């Protein structure tokens, strides 16, 4: 279902079945004249997403032949339907970094199983990695992207949209800022009632450090209307940025305590010592769904990398898995 936000900006709620994120907010900037429309983020390449998005576009009278697509980042719940929805002349914008990573994942099958093995996942768990929705519902190849980067400007429906690089949630995450109207399309950089997942990436050091830096970067913009890619908005963006930074600080302190008590622990086992909230309740590690374990352990690994970069922890490799120690 499509809903008006203000002026010619609309949102289409795309369900993400079985996913704790619940839905994706796709945004549409509709051009009232002869100009092109912009669709921001698309949903998983699965039928319930496809139906909702195509239905919403229909309600808004959007013809994809007159529409370009902006992907805030490479994740499948944002990019999954992009290529199949794009019209012949549609541009599909994404950062160079995320676009290239995505094509590598799609064409070379570059999964992350090798990396996840070093975190302590069992072979049995690794065998079902490809069932992970973030892999399974990714878009099809061939994907052809138009790369955009920090400082570039896109003009759609009378809105001048500045591209802002916000590396952290993914290495090439982008936000769009409409300075005249004080609107920011946030992707997954700032979410309001869940904390954006921060995980490790091959070739992208210190993701949590980058993420916090990128939060500081956008906090200098005047934002009246923040538009996150999942769920709604509560409070101001400045308040939310403060809360997210505090959350990571608390997480790091919890982690340091657990490391102190369990020298030599693996990222996987350390994740089991942390508190997690999934579907609005605190979960024990034993009944934690595997689909969420990839995210949870990745998040732990990102925090460990943050501490490693700052000399607060050290690690040893036993030939298969990393073991972490204080100091």
Question: Site residues for Zn ion, window 217-256 (CB under 5 A)?
Answer: none
To Zn ion, the closest distance from the beta carbon of 73 in angstroms equals: 6
To Zn ion, the closest distance from the beta carbon of 78 in angstroms equals: 6
Closest CA to 319 of 113, 110, 112, 117: 117
To Zn ion, the closest distance from the beta carbon of 173 in angstroms equals: 8
Span of 36-44, 74-82, 155-163, 210-218 interacting with Zn ion by CB under 5 A: 74-82
Q: Binding mask 32-71 vs Zn ion (x if CB under 5 A, - otherwise)?
A: ----------------------------------------
To Zn ion, the closest distance from the beta carbon of 86 in angstroms equals: 20
Closest CA to 187 of 298, 30, 302, 70: 70
- Compare residues 202 and 263 and give the one whose CB is closer to Zn ion: 202
Helix (H, G, I), strand (E, B) or coil at 263: coil
Closest CA to 159 of 176, 145, 137: 176
Helix (H, G, I), strand (E, B) or coil at 87: coil
**What are the beta bridge partners of residue 325?**
314
Span of 42-50, 131-139, 187-195, 250-258 interacting with Zn ion by CB under 5 A: 187-195
In angstroms, rounded to a whole number, what is the distance separating the alpha carbons of residues 146 and 99?
Answer: 9
To Zn ion, the closest distance from the beta carbon of 99 in angstroms equals: 15
- Compare residues 50 and 78 and give the one whose CB is closer to Zn ion: 78
- Compare residues 80 and 157 and give the one whose CB is closer to Zn ion: 80
Residue 188 touches Zn ion, criterion: CB under 5 A: yes
Helix (H, G, I), strand (E, B) or coil at 163: strand
In angstroms, rounded to a whole number, what is the distance separating the alpha carbons of residues 136 and 143?
Answer: 16
**What are the beta bridge partners of residue 225?**
183
Residues at the interface with Zn ion (CB under 5 A): 75, 188
């Amino acid at each position: 279902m499509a809903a008006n936000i203000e002026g010619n900006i609309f949102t289409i709620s795309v369900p993400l079945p079985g996913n704790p994120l619940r839905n994706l907010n796709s945004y549409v900037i509709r051009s009232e004249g002869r100009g092109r429309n912009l669709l921001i983020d698309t949903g998983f390449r699965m039928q319930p997403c496809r139906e909702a998005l195509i239905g919403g576009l229909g309600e808004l009278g959007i013809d994809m032949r007159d529409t370009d697509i902006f992907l805030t980042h490479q994740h499948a719940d944002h990019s999954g339907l992009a290529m199949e929805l794009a019209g012949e002349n549609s541009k599909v914008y994404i950062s160079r970094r995320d676009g290239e990573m995505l094509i590598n994942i799609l064409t070379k099958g570059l999964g992350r199983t090798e990396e996840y093995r070093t975190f302590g996942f069992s072979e049995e768990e690794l065998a079902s990695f490809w069932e992970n929705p973030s892999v399974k519902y990714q878009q099809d190849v061939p994907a052809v992207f138009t790369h955009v980067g920090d400082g570039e400007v896109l003009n759609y429906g009378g809105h001048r949209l500045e591209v802002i690089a916000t590396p952290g949630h993914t290495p090439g995450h982008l936000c769009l800022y409409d300075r005249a109207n004080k609107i920011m399309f946030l992707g997954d950089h700032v979410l309001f009632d869940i904390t954006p997942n921060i995980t490790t990436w091959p070739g992208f050091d210190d993701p949590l450090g980058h993420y916090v830096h990128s939060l500081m970067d956008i906090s200098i913009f005047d934002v009246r209307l923040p538009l996150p890619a999942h769920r709604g908005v509560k409070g101001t963006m400045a308040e939310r940025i403060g809360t997210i930074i505090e959350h990571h600080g608390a997480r790091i302190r919890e982690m340091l305590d657990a490391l102190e008590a369990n020298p030599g622990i693996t990222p996987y086992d350390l994740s089991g010592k942390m508190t997690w909230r999934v579907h609005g309740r605190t979960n024990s590690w034993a009944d934690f769904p595997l689909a969420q374990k990839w995210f949870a352990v990745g998040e732990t690994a990102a925090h460990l990398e943050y501490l490693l970069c700052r000399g607060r922890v050290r690690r040893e490799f036993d030939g298969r898995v990393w073991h972490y120690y204080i100091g």
